[in-house]
Amino acid sequence: MTETTRSTNLSQPIDDLDGAVVSPSDIGERLWRFFISMRTGLALILALVVLGLIGTLLVQAPVGLQADAQAYAAWIDSVRPKYGGWTGAFDMLGLFSVFNSIWFRGITVLLMTSVLACSVNRAPHLWKQATKPRTRMSDAFFDHAPLALATTTAARPEAAAEAVAATLRGRRFRTLVEGAGDTINVYADKNRWGPFGTVVAHLSLVVILTGALIGTAFGFRNEGLAVAVGSTADVGNETGLTVEARRFVDSYYPNGSPSDYASDLIVYRDGREVGAATVRVNEPMTVDGVTFYQSFFGPAASIRITGQDGDVVFDQGVPLQFGYGDGSRVAGQIVLADAGLTAYVVAPASGEVDPAIRPGQVQFEVYETATMADPVAVQTLSQGQAADVAGLDVTFVREHQYTGLIVARDPGAPFIWLGCFLLIAGTAVVFFFPSRRVWALVRPDRAGTSTVQVAAIVRHDVGFGAEFERMGEEIRVTIKSPPADEGKGTV
Amino acid sequence: MFKLSEYSFLAGVITVALAFGCYLLAFMSVAVTRRRSSFAGAGAGGGNISIGAEAGGTGLGTYGTLFTYLALTFLTAALIFRALATGHGPFANMYEFSIAFAWGTLAMFAYFEHRYHQRVLGLIALPIALALLLYATTVPAQFDPLVPALQNNLLLSVHVAVAIVAYGTFAVAFAAAVLYLLQTDAGRRGLPRRELLDEISYKAVMIGFPFLTLTIVLGAVWANVAWGRYWGWDPKETASLVTWLIYGAYLHARVVRGWRGERAAYLLLLGFTAVLFTYFGNLFFGGLHSYSGLNGN
Ligand code: HEM
């Protein structure tokens, strides 16, 4: 409140020219009010609902596709028949990647600001309510509270107040009894820390978002690390790890549907083994914070290349993981950096019959890495036979499989799980341990009896109304027959 | 076991239909009695009515409740027998999940009926359960072995168990919201008071919201274990987030002036629509949750 007065004073015009100026603190105040308003919060949540609906109803472009302008344009063309004249507008508004759009980011930031502001705004109040509750209420409160009852008893005020407090304690309330002369105030509360559940739930959202940001900024995720069985591949992404696939097994049920995909993996750092496990779907392996997941598999070709001087320049399984040409072929890539050459190993896709490449054969295409123009040489290789391709001695050693891994490191994940835990714990506390506060006022009246008034505020909870009524009944019964010795009233 | 499961399922369908029939007849007879009595000038009374309590001694409402419990027992048996036969929880196909969803709706209705004695909620909650069960009869009941991605029995069983509690409470909240909108502030037509309906909705969402949160989190845990990412904006994930946001909005709308009351009730209708959309979403949007298993290259 004092804040308000001060800022009003500050924004008082000093002279006529200042009249039109809105002071910074006034703007700050307005912003603050905007962000702590539940109406704002509600509007922001509903705005996210709308964006989420767009995200489910409109086809979304594959993640990361926008980085490749050509591929993205092709993708837009592929959805054009579906959305017709709207396609361009949707694209311009970013609706084909809603969750990367300025709208989504902006609203998320506003929502988080609002959530933070609400929490900061409410926490001191809740803290005070829990630690230094207001134990006395005005007469008007007892007369007009949404839940209120009044009764009289023959007992002395202390005894009556103690009876009220005992009833409340029996219902697992904490009670504070304060006497001032003959007038006694009883304050009782239950789950007084419960309201902090909302603060925890709100802050947990910020924790989750922080986790997501950390993951994006400092993590990586490679969805397509193919490792031929018997070969190794660099994990890259500054992990310094290499992974070797010792074995890959795909198993099937009698009805032909897959039952298991399993890869025996060994992970090395600087040539030293640092981890080994059989990785399956749902059973990843984590080494130094980097996690390996089973994801896909396919054919591989073992290729050995010997240079002109007789040195072996390449001897590895090559995963044939790329679709090639019209999709009826698959290919893998070999980069011979020293020779400035790039080679493709091409085979028919599974189930395709290719007149040019028969079973037991692959096609070997060599390009200049610098130009990648027309191939320098193209040759079909039969398994086990060495051939001379563009001056290289190339052997297609054998067919294999490769295992396709997702490799990811997400330093934000602990924050995500912490945030999720806090979110669930916070909401559960709010709802399953609702805070309750009851006030009672006991005072002597002229007839030598005591008047007892009990009141509570209902926060949109009719259920507590019923409990309050039962409690009232109990209080009426107890104060009629307070414990005899206390009834004598030694102050 | 399969046969036992199917028989229990059929018995469940029939008893749910019977329970609904009883409630419907009871409600109609109450309505008729009420009209007559109001004709006779005996006050129409703002109705905090439990069907059956005053249904001209028919006791139909009581039978409705008994049939509800019976149906719940049959469906529980159907789910248990099926789990024993398949060796996993009801998460592998729409047949299993529909029965589970219907079970959740019935169970939550039974709980709220027990607590608030508002059988009239059954007029809306039971048809939802019945529709889900009838839908289950139209999809293949056969049991296919689990593809690798679904081989996480414990996590997925808990995920689904938590989800059906959430969905069941949202069905109850939906039922109460519909009645709320049919009811007037003055309280006519033999429906429960608006305040009470509002409370039932709120209590239902109070249970449902943390459970939905847990459902989504467990889904994220599964996605993380199976695919190395806790969130990927696949349509099913997004739809469940939208559902969650709608119920989150409801919780706040309830304490915002101008939003509490009817608008909040509309949010509950929207929320349950989102639940159904998320649920049936499998049928029209692809993604990992289409249970295609490994989406290999
Ligand atoms: C998606 C975002 C949000 C979630 C999941 C969330 C969650 C919750 C939950 C679970 C409650 C307890 C509700 C109850 O007691 O019935 C709550 C209460 C509250 N929320 Fe949020 N909230 C969100 C956003 C916001 C925002 C943006 C604001 C501020 C504008 C806000 C302000 C409040 C306040 C003031 C309460 C206490 C309401 C009362 O008096 O009962 N919330 N929130």
Q: Is the CB of A61 within 6 Å of ligand 1?
A: no
Which residue in the block uniquely carries the two structure tokens 């709208």?
A: A103
Q: How far is B36 from chain A (nearest CA, A)?
A: 32
Q: Is the CB of A450 within 6 Å of ligand 1?
A: no
Residue of chain A minimizing CA distance to B154: A282
Instruction: Specify the pLDDT at position B58.
Output: 52
Instruction: Specify the pLDDT at position B234.
Output: 85
B148: nearest CB among A45, A53, A282? A282
Whole-angstrom CA distances from A374 to A365, A369, A371, B283 are 10, 11, 9, 46
Inter-chain touch A56–B238, beta carbons under 8 Å: yes
CA angle A460, A464, A466 (to 5 degrees): 120
Q: List CB contacts (< 8 A) between A287 and chain B.
A: none
B142 or A76, higher pLDDT: A76
pLDDT higher than 70, residue B46: no
Instruction: Specify the pLDDT at position A207.
Output: 96
Q: How confident is the model at residue B32 (pLDDT cuts 50, 70, 90)?
A: confident
Instruction: Specify the pLDDT at position A462.
Output: 60
Instruction: Specify the pLDDT at position B106.
Output: 95
User: What's the order of all strands across the beta sheet hosting A241-252?
Assistant: A232-234, A241-252, A258-269, A272-280
Q: List CB contacts (< 8 A) between B235 and chain A.
A: 55-56
The Å distance, Cα A417 to ligand 1 centre, comes to 20
pLDDT higher than 70, residue A62: yes
pLDDT higher than 90, residue B23: no
Give the integer Cα–Cα distance in Å for B225 and A279. Answer: 11
Q: How confident is the model at residue A158 (pLDDT cuts 50, 70, 90)?
A: confident
Give the integer Cα–Cα distance in Å for A111 and A427. Answer: 18
Mean pLDDT of the region A327-351: 86
Mean pLDDT of the region A421-448: 90
pLDDT higher than 50, residue A124: yes
A356 or A490, higher pLDDT: A356
Give the integer Cα–Cα distance in Å for A229 and A22. Answer: 70
Q: A 40-79 residues with CB below 8 A of B?
A: 41-42, 45-46, 48-49, 52-53, 55-56, 60, 63
Q: What is the DSSP letter of A235?
A: -
Inter-chain touch B149–A53, beta carbons under 8 Å: no
CA angle B190, B196, B198 (to 5 degrees): 115
Q: Does A237 touch chain B (CB under 8 A)?
A: no
pTM value is: 0.87
Give the integer Cα–Cα distance in Å for B243 and B215. Answer: 12
* Contact call for residues B58 and B52 (beta carbons, < 8 A): yes
Q: A 440-469 residues with CB below 8 A of B?
A: 460-463
Q: Which of A360, A359, A362, A370 is nearest to A344 (CA)?
A: A362
pLDDT higher than 90, residue A25: no
Q: List CB contacts (< 8 A) between A212 and chain B.
A: 231
> CB atoms < 10 A from the CB of B148, how many?
22
Mean pLDDT of the region A383-388: 86
Instruction: Specify the pLDDT at position B283.
Output: 66
Q: How far is A461 from chain B (nearest CA, A)?
A: 7
Strand bridging mode A322-324 / A329-336: antiparallel
Mean pLDDT of the region A331-358: 86
Q: List CB contacts (< 8 A) between B147 and chain A.
A: 257-259
Q: List CB contacts (< 8 A) between B144 and chain A.
A: 253, 255, 257
Q: Which of B170, B44, B172 is nearest to B119 (CA)?
A: B172
* Range among A22-36, A192-206, A295-309 rated most confident: A192-206
Inter-chain touch B239–A321, beta carbons under 8 Å: no
Q: Is the CB of A114 within 6 Å of ligand 1?
A: yes
A293: nearest CB among B228, B254, B285? B228
Residue-wise pLDDT for A278-328, tens only, equals 998 889 999 999 999 998 888 899 899 987 777 888 888 899 888 887 778
Instruction: Specify the pLDDT at position B125.
Output: 93
Mean pLDDT of the region A220-226: 89
Q: Is the CB of A108 within 6 Å of ligand 1?
A: no
Q: A 336-395 residues with CB below 8 A of B?
A: none
Inter-chain touch A404–B252, beta carbons under 8 Å: no
Inter-chain touch B225–A462, beta carbons under 8 Å: no
Quick one: three-class SS letters along chain B? CHHHHHHHHHHHHHHHHHHHHHHHHHHHHHHHHHHHHHHCCCCCCCCCCCCCCCCCCCCHHHHHHHHHHHHHHHHHHHHHHHHHHHCCCCCCCHHHHHHHHHHHHHHHHHHHHHHHCCHHHHHHHHHHHHHHHHHHHHCCCCCCCCCHHHCCHHHHHHHHHHHHHHHHHHHHHHHHHHHHHHCCCCCCCCCCCHHHHHHHHHHHHHHHHHHHHHHHHHHHHHHHHHHCCCCCCCHHHHHHHHHHHHHHHHHHHCCCCCCCCHHHHHHHHHHHHHHHHHHHHHHHCCCHHHCCCCCCC
Q: Is the CB of A180 within 6 Å of ligand 1?
A: no
Residue-wise pLDDT for B86-133, tens only, equals 888 888 888 888 999 999 999 999 999 988 888 889 889 999 999 999
ipTM, interface predicted TM-score of the complex:
0.88
The Å distance, Cα A110 to ligand 1 centre, comes to 15
**Index of the ligand 1 atom closest to the CA of residue A44:** 27
- Percent over 90 (pLDDT), chain B: 38
Instruction: Specify the pLDDT at position B54.
Output: 45
Ligand 1 pocket: which of A109, A118, A427 to mutate (most atoms within 8 A of CB)? A118
Residue-wise pLDDT for A77-110, tens only, equals 888 888 888 888 898 888 888 888 899 999 999 9
Optimal mutation site among A147, A281, A286, interface B, most CBs of chain B within 10 A = A281
B60 or B170, higher pLDDT: B170
Instruction: Specify the pLDDT at position A265.
Output: 93
The Å distance, Cα B252 to ligand 1 centre, comes to 6
pLDDT higher than 70, residue B41: no
Q: List CB contacts (< 8 A) between B281 and chain A.
A: 56
Instruction: Specify the pLDDT at position A350.
Output: 79
Mean pLDDT of the region A352-367: 86
What tokens were used for A189?
A: 């509360």
Compute the Cα dihedral for A89, A91, A97, A101 and give only its sign: negative
Optimal mutation site among B157, B215, B233, B247, interface A, most CBs of chain A within 10 A = B233
Give the integer Cα–Cα distance in Å for A266 and A280. Answer: 14
Q: Residue A128, class by beta-carbon neighbours within 10 Å (0-12 exposed, 13-18 middle, 19+ buried)?
A: exposed
Inter-chain touch A261–B245, beta carbons under 8 Å: no
Give the integer Cα–Cα distance in Å for B164 and B79. Answer: 13
Q: Is A390 left (phi over 0), alpha (psi -120 to 50) or beta?
A: left
The Å distance, Cα A161 to ligand 1 centre, comes to 37
A167 or A22, higher pLDDT: A167
Q: How many CB pairs under 8 A join A and B?
A: 139
Mean pLDDT of the region A327-343: 86
> What string of DSSP letters covers A301-360?
EEEEEE-TTS-EEEEEEEE--EEETTTTEEEEEEEETTTTEEEEEEEEPTT---SSS-TT
Q: Which residues of A425-434 are buried (b: 16+ CB within 10 A; e: fewer)?
A: ebbbbbbeeb
Q: How confident is the model at residue A22 (pLDDT cuts 50, 70, 90)?
A: low
Q: List CB contacts (< 8 A) between A55 and chain B.
A: 233, 235, 238
pLDDT higher than 70, residue B163: yes
**Index of the ligand 1 atom closest to the CA of residue B202:** 16
Instruction: Specify the pLDDT at position A200.
Output: 95
Inter-chain touch B248–A45, beta carbons under 8 Å: yes
Q: How far is A164 from chain B (nearest CA, A)?
A: 28
Mean pLDDT of the region A233-239: 87
Q: Residue A290, class by beta-carbon neighbours within 10 Å (0-12 exposed, 13-18 middle, 19+ buried)?
A: buried
- What mean pLDDT value characterizes chain A? 85
B226: nearest CB among A253, A260, A282? A282
Q: How far is A431 from chain B (nearest CA, A)?
A: 6
pLDDT higher than 50, residue B297: no
The Å distance, Cα A42 to ligand 1 centre, comes to 9
Residue-wise pLDDT for B168-201, tens only, equals 999 999 999 999 999 888 776 678 888 889 989 9
Q: Is the CB of A205 within 6 Å of ligand 1?
A: yes
